[in-house]
Structure 1
Amino acid sequence: MPRPENFTSVDGLHYGWRPAEAGAPTLLFANSLGTDVRVWDRVGARLPAQWGILRFDKRGHGLSRFQAGLTIETMADDAEFLLDHLGIGAFAGVGLSVGGLIMQRLALRRETTMTHLVLADTAAKIGSEEVWNPRIETVMRQGIAAISDMILARWFAPEYQTTADFSMWQLMLERTPAEGYAAVCAAIRDADYRADLARISLPTLVVAGAQDSSTQPALVRETAEQIPGARFVEIADAGHLPCVEQPERFAALLMEHLSRS
């Protein structure tokens, strides 16, 4: 049976924490734009019970307090704050979408303590001003619900959109505070870490949902090719959130990757 996580907050950051047992690995999860910690529920339930888990809501998402001046760097600062607050030494970093940008920074900041890196449906440069600025403007003027159909169509494989689960993720997205969502959009827009990919020296797994329309598999593969020794895997029957649509496959890849030195 999976051991429970303890959920609490510190400095306005909401997080869940389950310490590792008997020398088992600890995983730090960073989730995507418009989601909260629940996006990892199904993967976490399939991991060994003795593994440690730390996951957190980005500022302005879920139960974390919004903070002005958000960037990928300040979100990486938050992740480091939690690692230090909890006294976590060695850990594996797992990042989805914007969470992957955060983990790319931590892979360089914490290269002596991050043991493995997993990047899912992400890149070092995601979109452009022409993509993000109209979205930010619409969300701040009309709310996320005005564009949720478009976003969800890009997130999920068509078959998944007919399931009973689909409405849960729609509500999660639409209940994300507009200010927090727009701020993270701007952070993604302004981030460009392509020049740093070659500096990542950790064992790296890069995965992409085969039906992802947000960060298309070709873009994710291109990112993997710039990281020395990285392995790229495309996950069938999944869109932008393979940890939701194909959690068993995602967890299996994660466990296999962490078994490699």
Structure 2
Amino acid sequence: MSTAPSAKGTVPFGEHRTWYRVTGTPNSGRPTVVALHGGPGSTHDYLVGMAVLAESGWPVVHYDQLGNGGSTHLPDASTDFWTPQLFLDELDNLLRRLDVDGDYVLFGQSWGGLLAAKHASARPAGLRGLVVANAPASYPLWLSEMRVLRDRLPPGVDDTLRKHEAAGTTDSKEYFDAMMVFYNRHVCTLRPWPREFVATFMEIYNDPTVYYAMNGPSEFHVIGSLRDWGVVDCLPDIEVPTLVISGRHDEATPATVRPYAELVPGARWEIFEDSSHTPHLEEPERFIAVMIEFLESLE
């Protein structure tokens, strides 16, 4: 059960609106933890358990990135509208609007981790720390490792996936069923999936505009605008204390995560042995303990 929010609503972002929820009281002595969800095109729901950090004194901000959840949906926006810079601008706007830009920590999960790292590389004055969770450092690295993971699927599964990807029928039930074999191994190993994770999954399913434009039809078939994008070049510019998190069975394999550990000065890398892509759900007690240890180290 997550801690109840102390505030929620929307803030204007240009002609659009960004939905947010705050747990705890920002600017009350400890930096605010701002959670950036994955996708792109996901929602905050599967990260809502992080609100428990407020019970230990760290306020938490969750938000839905533009195009999904409670934020403005733009199903008719052109593909080139959806760029990393758009979401960096949205993050900057949110931090200012909520008046937390003077004292905050970023937690970025999956796609949110690349976004958080890119933000941190600009060395904003109010940023106190960075957590990059289950995030590849670039999509070319990610795609290279997806081939490795796909080759290890049970016999026939990858053949089915490739058949539909070649035919452009990735919306078929057969593709979905084969896709779930991968997801259950490398995205979330829990059975059944937690309710908050299902909520996020359904949000993408109900409006895949952003996910399809930037990523593609699945985690391992990235044909969207991000296929050549990454943050490797800017990692040495990050100056704040940085924690890197990944799961032993993560779709974000060690090869995709290693640049953070090697290139961000002083970064610490924590691998969760019993997790895939969602250690915060698969090993929640240890996850919160690791987070609190890191946040305390910033003091």
TM range (shorter): 0.7 to 0.9
Give per-residue Cα distances to partners, 1:201-254, cap 9 Å, x unaligned. Answer: 110000101111x21133213431111110001012111111121222122111
Distance 1:197 1:140, change over 3 A: farther
Structure 1 position 257, deviation (Å): 1.0
Question: Does 2:28 align with 1:15?
Answer: no
Output the CA distance in 2 between the equivalents of 1:65 and 1:151.
Answer: 31
Give the one of 12, 37, 50 matched to 1:31. 37
Distance 1:198 1:136, change over 3 A: farther
Bigger Cα displacement from structure 2, 21-30 vs 60-69: 60-69
Is contact 1:73-1:102 (8 Å) kept? no
Output the CA distance in 1 between the equivalents of 2:279 and 2:145.
Answer: 27
Give the one of 233, 245, 249 matched to 2:270. 233
Question: Does 2:50 align with 1:43?
Answer: yes
Structure 1: state its 5+ residue gaps.
none
Q: Which residue of the partner structure matches residue 149 of structure 2?
A: none
Question: Does 2:13 align with 1:6?
Answer: no
Output the CA distance in 2 between the equivalents of 1:140 and 1:155.
Answer: 22
Structure 1 position 35, deviation (Å): 3.4
Distance 1:130 1:117, change over 3 A: closer
CA RMSD of aligned residues (A): 3.1
Is contact 1:97-1:123 (8 Å) kept? yes
Structure 1 residue identity aligned to 2:106: G
Is contact 1:95-1:101 (8 Å) kept? yes
Identity of aligned residues (%): 25
Question: Does 2:237 align with 1:199?
Answer: yes
Give the one of 116, 130, 143 matched to 1:117. 130
Question: Does 2:187 align with 1:155?
Answer: yes
1:53-202 alignment, distance < 5 Å: 53-67=60-74, 68=77, 69-88=81-100, 89-126=102-139, 127-128=142-143, 142=171, 146-147=175-176, 149-150=180-181, 152-153=183-184, 154-157=186-189, 160=190, 162-163=191-192, 165-166=193-194, 169-170=197-198, 172-176=200-204, 177-185=207-215, 186-202=224-240
Q: Of the two, which has the highest radius of gyration?
A: 2
Is contact 2:121-2:237 (8 Å) kept? yes
Q: Which residue of the partner structure matches residue 211 of structure 1?
A: 249
Distance 1:61 1:202, change over 3 A: same
Matched residue count: 255
Is contact 1:43-1:248 (8 Å) kept? no
Is contact 1:37-1:55 (8 Å) kept? yes
> Which structure 1 residue ranges, 4+ long, deviate > 4 Å from structure 2?
128-131, 134-141, 143-146
Structure 2: state its 5+ residue gaps.
147-161, 216-223
TM-score, length basis structure 1: 0.84
Is contact 2:43-2:64 (8 Å) kept? yes
Structure 1 residue identity aligned to 2:210: G
Is contact 2:187-2:276 (8 Å) kept? yes
